[in-house]
């Protein structure tokens, strides 16, 4: 893990592609390279890489392994600038001010942690917990959960429980009431771990529905609803929490039942609805399957520290030398798909002509249900299929008209009432992280 940085990551990607698709012409015609979140930055480094050590020969260059690039709630870049503010400050990352050599020596010796490790949500134990919660919801969504009662009692689990289920600062400090004091279905447990109205970490948020079955209150920890600090790493959605410990069985209202006639329409203390039908796009059952099904994990339990520190140290000679073909970032068509409420909310790079899926959170671009509540096809996957069938630059979608006077169009915003034209997908391979 001490060596698993950006250089090893893109080399692994290249070795896999050339082993599975030996023909350079086939790779250039059929492969779409891209990723979600940090995967956009990894794609940037892959596009700019040289894999035979000879800059003059370009058949091996990263950009020549791809017919086009995909960026899902990220951008194809060699910088973390577009994802700024998305990495929490308590991930136990080394101080990059020490310099590349000192950081690498610390990783080699084990003095510095080789995987991202924080006491709340970002560590191997809690990432594994997501898969277990997914299994419970997949097996019996409406059954009462016993997972909170048999979780290990340690600092990591306790801190995570308090962070997610503390109504306010006083509850966080005292630990009362705790998650073990509430009756929750398996669906409610999973929703509490990943829904945008519950988890206060933007990069872990989906829009899978809302709590149901009992009184709901504002969750004002770590930040209050409606405040200036709410955006950024915490996400844009109002946060909510069950309000009756040792009370009713709290259930989970799925994305396609939000706004139905029997929906209580829970509201914040300031009168703002916690959610609306147009803001819920992911089926919690499908999310549970993605988390629980083997053999691949949904989130990386052991995320390499070096992968992040390498990118943070992009100006160091050891990392800068990896960008051999900077022109590769613009050598192929790019499809940029952004979540309307995701990591780039409020700062959409219009020059990239992105597809913006309104109401989507950071993970929704991966998990949204194939058929939305209004019966229309899911817009992100439809855009991906259309692009795979015929990559082009700049990608704007066939329904996107040019601006006044023939000027280039800005972002294409796709709401639940719209969808892009369906397409048959040509044979292709997608390289993503």
- String of DSSP letters for 393-426: SS---TT----GGGPPP--EEE-TT--PPP-PPP
Q: 305 or 427, which is more confident? A: 305
The mean per-residue pLDDT over the stretch 59-71 comes to: 97
Most confidently predicted of 58-72, 114-128, 217-231: 58-72
Residues 89 and 129 in one domain: no
- As a whole number, the mean pLDDT across the chain is 86
State percent of the chain over pLDDT 70: 86
pLDDT in tens, 306-323: 999 999 999 999 999 999
Task: Please tell me whether residues 219 and 268 are part of one structural domain.
Answer: yes
What pLDDT was estimated at residue 415?
A: 41
2 by DSSP, 3-state: which?
coil
Pick the most confident of 196-205, 341-350, 408-417: 196-205
Domain-located, residue 115: no
Quickly state the pLDDT bin for 295 (edges 50, 70, 90). Answer: confident
Domain edge (last residue) among 247, 262, 292: 292
User: What is the helix (H) or strand (E) element at residue 356, kind and residue range?
Assistant: strand 355-357
Environment class of 339 (CB within 10 Å of its CB; exposed 0-12, middle 13-18, buried 19+):
buried
In a domain, 48, yes or no: yes
State residue 345's pLDDT score: 84
One domain, residues 287 and 310? no
Residues 196 and 254 in one domain: yes
Mean pLDDT of 42-57: 97
Tell me, yes or no, whether 283 and 403 share the same domain: no
Last residue of a domain, one of 292, 313, 331: 292
Are 307 and 288 part of one and the same domain? no
66-103: per-residue pLDDT in tens?
A: 999 999 999 999 998 877 655 555 455 666 667 899 99
Task: Tell me, yes or no, whether 118 lies in a domain.
Answer: no
**Predicted structure pTM score:** 0.87
Measured CA to CA in angstroms, residue 169 lies from 177, 216, 276 at distances of 12, 17, 27
- Are both 140 and 53 inside the same structural domain? no
* Residues 257 and 342 placed together within one structural domain of the fold: no
The residue that leads in pLDDT, 95 or 377, is 377
- Does one domain contain both 286 and 310? no
What are the distances in angstroms from CA 306 to CA 98, 213, 319? 14, 44, 11
The pLDDT > 90 percentage for the chain reads 67
Split into its structural domains, the chain has a count of 2
Q: Do residues 329 and 414 both lie within one domain?
A: yes
Instruction: Judge whether 194 lies within some domain.
Output: yes
C-alpha 142/C-alpha 138 separation (Å) is 10
Claim to verify: residue 143 and residue 267 sit in the same structural domain: yes
Strands 355-357 and 183-184: unpaired
**Least confidently predicted of 283-297, 328-342, 417-431:** 417-431
Q: Determine the structural domain holding residue 341 and report its residue range.
A: 6-106+303-431
- pLDDT, mean of residues 282-305: 91
With respect to residue 206, please indicate whether it lies within any of the assigned structural domains: yes
Q: What is d(CA 220, CA 166) in angstroms, rounded to the nearest whole number? A: 8
Task: Count CB atoms within 10 A of the CB of residue 233.
Answer: 17
Pairing of strands 240-242, 412-414: unpaired
pLDDT band with cut points at 50, 70 and 90 for residue 283? very high
* Per-residue pLDDT at 232: 67
Cα gap 202→20, rounded to integer Å: 35
User: Of 261, 292, 323, which closes a domain?
Assistant: 292
Q: Which of 332, 325, 326 is nearest to 393 (CA)?
A: 332
Q: Verify that 255 and 190 share a domain, yes or no.
A: yes
Q: What is the pLDDT of residue 229?
A: 59
């Amino acid at each position: 893990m001490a060596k698993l940085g950006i250089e090893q990551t893109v080399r692994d990607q290249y070795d896999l592609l050339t082993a599975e698709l030996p023909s350079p012409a086939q790779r250039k015609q059929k492969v779409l390279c891209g990723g979600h979140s940090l995967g956009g930055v990894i794609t940037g480094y892959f596009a700019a890489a040289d894999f035979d050590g000879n800059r003059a020969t370009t058949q091996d260059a990263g950009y020549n392994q791809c017919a086009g690039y995909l960026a899902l709630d990220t951008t194809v870049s060699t910088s973390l600038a577009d994802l700024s503010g998305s990495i929490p400050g308590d991930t136990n990352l080394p101080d990059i001010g020490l310099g590349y050599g000192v950081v690498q020596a610390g990783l080699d010796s084990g003095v510095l942690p080789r995987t991202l490790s924080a006491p709340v949500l970002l560590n191997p134990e809690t990432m594994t917990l997501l898969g277990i919660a997914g299994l419970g919801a997949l097996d019996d969504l409406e059954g009462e959960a016993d997972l909170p009662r048999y979780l290990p009692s340690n600092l990591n689990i306790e801190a995570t429980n308090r962070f997610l289920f503390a109504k306010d600062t006083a509850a966080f400090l005292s630990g009362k009431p705790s998650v073990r004091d509430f009756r929750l279905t398996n669906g409610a447990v999973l929703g509490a771990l990943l829904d945008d109205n519950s988890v206060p970490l933007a990069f872990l948020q989906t829009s899978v529905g809302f709590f149901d079955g009992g009184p709901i209150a504002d969750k004002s920890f770590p930040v209050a609803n409606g405040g200036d600090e709410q955006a950024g790493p915490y996400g844009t959605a109002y946060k909510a929490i069950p309000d009756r410990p040792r009370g009713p069985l709290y259930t989970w209202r799925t994305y396609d039942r939000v706004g139905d006639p029997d929906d209580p329409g829970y509201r914040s203390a300031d009168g703002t609805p916690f959610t609306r039908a147009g803001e819920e796009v992911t089926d919690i059952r499908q999310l549970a399957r993605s988390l629980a099904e083997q053999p691949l994990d949904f989130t990386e339990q052991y995320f390499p520290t070096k992968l992040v520190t390498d990118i943070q140290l992009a100006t160091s000679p050891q990392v800068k030398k990896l960008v051999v073909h900077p022109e590769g970032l613009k050598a192929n068509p790019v499809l940029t798909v952004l979540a309307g409420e995701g990591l780039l909310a409020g700062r959409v790079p219009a020059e990239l002509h992105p597809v913006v899926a309104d109401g989507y959170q950071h993970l929704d671009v991966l998990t949204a249900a194939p058929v939305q509540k209004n019966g229309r096809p899911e817009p992100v996957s439809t855009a991906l299929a259309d692009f795979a069938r015929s990559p082009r630059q700049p990608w704007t979608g066939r329904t996107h008209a040019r601006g006044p006077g023939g000027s280039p169009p800005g972002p294409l915003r796709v709401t639940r009432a719209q969808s892009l034209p369906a397409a048959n997908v040509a044979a292709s391979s997608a390289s993503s992280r």
